Amino acid sequence: MTAKPAPNVLIFLLASIALIVLPHFYHLPISIFGFFFTLLAWRFVGLWQPMWLPNRWLVFLLTVIGLGLIYIQHQGIFGRDAGTRLFIVALGLKLMEIKTERDLYLITFLAFIVAASQFLYEQSLLMAGYILMVCCTLIGTLVSINSRQPQPWVALKTAGVIIAQAFPLAIVLFILFPRIEAPRWMLLNDRQQARMGLSDSMEPGSISELGVSTELAFRVKFSGALPPAAQRYWRGPVLAKTNGKRWLPSLHQGLEAIMDKPTFSGTSYQYTLLMEPQNKNWVFALDLPAEFSKPLSRNVNYQLTTSTNPDKRSEYKITSYPHYNTGTPTRIEYNDATQLPDTPSAEINGLVSQLHGFDKAPETFITALLNHFRTEDFHYTLTPPVMEDKPIETFLFKTRYGFCSHYASAFVYLMRVAHIPARVVTGYQGGEFNPVGQFLEIHQYDAHAWAEVWLEGKGWTRVDPTAAVAPERIEKNINVDALAQGEAIQFANDANNGKAFAWLKEARQLWSNVDYNWQRWVINYNSMNQAKFLANLGVGDIKTMMVWMVSILCVITAVLSAFLLYQKPKTTDQALRYYQRFCRKLAKRGLIRHPGEGETDFAERVKTALPQTAGQARHITDIFIRLRYGKDAKEVDMKELAQCVKAFKIFDTLK
């Protein structure tokens, strides 16, 4: 433990640590990332210039600087980010004081912690594979430290064998070991990292910011047929209050108990929804959710929310009906849905009057307004012009270029001017079907806003004015490949891009299916899912679970032990094979090496029995011992051993 580390072991270790910290580039401030890699480069230089390494006072100063950087960047010392930065800074500082093999062990174990901390930020299959690779290099470092002949590639091979042997044990422990969920108050979440997603308010243009984001929002797998594309509305926050520019949820949520219960008809859709981590506790169910279980609940606006931690990926089973009747609104709902920020302008009143909003049935006015959007010079775009002053009037009578939020807000405003209760609903629309995994993927660029109008005998009825202007937005998916290259908005079935990205789309779908199953069956394998899975196997209590786990672990251990203990001569190393060939030559003359007899003792017996071969036997024995147990063995020794064994011959009979 006090021996000086070999240079090639140090190089191996430093290279492994560089690979471990590299993925933290996206999570560390540039100052701390630069601080660590400066220390790492300094230690590399110290391999060839030891006098350049810092003394203990300079190490103390570096420690103060590192702790100062952590505190300044995080404004504290607790939490995921602060803890990760503390371990990385400590790892860099420890590199400055490597003197013995004991220091290498401490650094290696600290590096394992830094490698595991990456899973606090990202849990993808690619990252798991990368961390497994760097852990293999760390185990290879431990092998090199304990080897008499530290050779990196041999050490990596040994580390790979060790990991392969541990895999069956790890799988059994993962499946059967009781999973304990930490209480929410113990979770050290860092809220500084913003997540892309819908907001609980809307201004014209706010959703268009999501329209260029390819970030995944959630995945949905149906137990039967998929709903038609025109019915794939994923319900989110309902916005009823407005100041003419910004739309907000109602301050009076009311009580669900005094509301009419929605009635459902037509085809039902059962599906499993896998939500990605987000800041809000919203769950975007297919409009309108009818059946669900805890931890889900439905608010007065028929939006689902969850009581679980939204920062974690979660899976829910839901049943929805596209056809429903919500009944009569409460007085609060009606007042919120008819609220206007000020007196409508003459232009607004003129448009409503022109479209018979004051003198015809609501259905007639809705049809006329949709035809107005469809036949007049209105355009759908992700980059509408800025409309700071009176955005609704500016959009309707001047620019006429807008995104879904412009059309939904203008539609709802005009409905209210005509004394028809209406409100804005935000969420997602559509989703890309993955034919490999048979599920829908809903991304942030699928964010959408539509309108709900209350109609007598029908309740809250969905009306999407965007579909009147750009029906392809509802029926088709946005072409994400063209969008990522900065091109104008296109849709998936357009002829000008169908072939260009075909191979890219197929590869993405294949990988997405792999990632979906990884997230669902591995990352989302919590205590609830574990209980369900084991119940299907007949394991219903903790005692049975422990019996299964111990029994399977014993079987795997016995199999691995038998495999490791059963060693064929062909699997031994090259030096031993040469020595065994030497022993077989002596055995042919009756001089057999006894079990447990050392090489030196056997050489002495050969000297007594065959004095004429004593010199050759002693020389062969010395080379073998040097190769097998010595630290200064060279490749030329192996060649010499092979030549000596080949030349060894016995001419005399035994005395």
Q: Tell the residue number behind the tokens 């299964």, with chain if given.
A: 548
Model confidence pLDDT, tens digit, residues 433-445: 999 989 999 998 8
Angle between helices 125-146 and 502-518 (to 10 degrees): 70
| Residue with the larger pLDDT of the pair 403 and 499 | 403
What is the side-by-side strand order in the sheet with 439-443?
289-291, 314-320, 269-275, 216-222, 439-443, 432-434
pLDDT for the residue numbered 72: 81
Dihedral of the alpha carbons of 35, 40, 42, 43, in degrees to the nearest 10: 150
3-state SS, residue 296: strand
Average pLDDT (560-584) is 73
Which of 447, 442, 407 lies closest to 424, judged by CA? 407
Encoded tokens for 638: 């192996």
pLDDT for the residue numbered 567: 55
Lowest mean pLDDT among 273-277, 308-312, 486-490: 486-490
Average pLDDT (587-593) is 86
Average pLDDT (59-87) is 81
pLDDT for the residue numbered 10: 85
Average pLDDT (327-343) is 90
pLDDT for the residue numbered 489: 52
Average pLDDT (61-73) is 86
pLDDT for the residue numbered 2: 55
Residues contacting 365, CB < 8 A, separation 6+ = 352, 355, 356, 357, 415, 418, 420
pLDDT for the residue numbered 370: 95
DSSP string, 340-398: -SSPPPHHHHHHHHHTTTTTS-HHHHHHHHHHHHHHSS-EE-SSPPP--SSHHHHIIII
pLDDT for the residue numbered 495: 45
Q: Is the pLDDT of residue 221 over 80?
A: yes
Q: How confident is the model at residue 653 (pLDDT cuts 50, 70, 90)?
A: very low
Average pLDDT (5-17) is 82
Which of 418, 505, 382 lies closest to 513, judged by CA? 505
Average pLDDT (416-428) is 95
3-state SS, residue 145: helix
Share of the chain above pLDDT 70, in %: 86
Cβ-based neighbour number of residue 106 at 10 Å: 14
Q: Is the pLDDT of residue 454 over 70?
A: yes
Q: Is the pLDDT of residue 499 over 80?
A: no
Given a contact cutoff of 8 angstroms between Cβ atoms, the answer to whether 43 and 95 are in contact is yes
pLDDT for the residue numbered 491: 54
Model confidence pLDDT, tens digit, residues 245-258: 889 998 776 555 56
pLDDT for the residue numbered 501: 60
pLDDT for the residue numbered 255: 53
pLDDT for the residue numbered 569: 44
Average pLDDT (127-131) is 90
Distance CA 631, CA 600 (A): 18
Q: How confident is the model at residue 494 (pLDDT cuts 50, 70, 90)?
A: very low
Q: Is the pLDDT of residue 409 over 60?
A: yes
pLDDT for the residue numbered 3: 58
Lowest mean pLDDT among 14-18, 24-28, 187-191, 540-544: 187-191
Reported in sequence order, the residue ranges of 54-183 that DSSP labels E, i.e. its strands, are none
Task: Give the chain's mean pLDDT.
Answer: 83
Lowest mean pLDDT among 70-79, 552-561, 602-611: 70-79
| Residue with the larger pLDDT of the pair 362 and 478 | 362
Lowest mean pLDDT among 162-171, 223-232, 378-387, 468-477: 468-477
Q: Which runs of consecutive H residues, i.e. helices, occur in 390-501?
A: 391-394, 404-417, 466-469, 471-475, 480-484
pLDDT for the residue numbered 70: 83
Q: How confident is the model at residue 419 (pLDDT cuts 50, 70, 90)?
A: very high
| Residue with the larger pLDDT of the pair 414 and 523 | 414
pLDDT for the residue numbered 181: 62
Cβ-based neighbour number of residue 171 at 10 Å: 12
Q: Is the pLDDT of residue 186 over 50?
A: no
Domain limits, the chain = 7-165, 206-504, 527-565, 569-647
Residue 460 host element (H or E)? strand 459-463
Distance CA 89, CA 94 (A): 9
Whole-model pTM?
A: 0.72
Average pLDDT (115-141) is 88
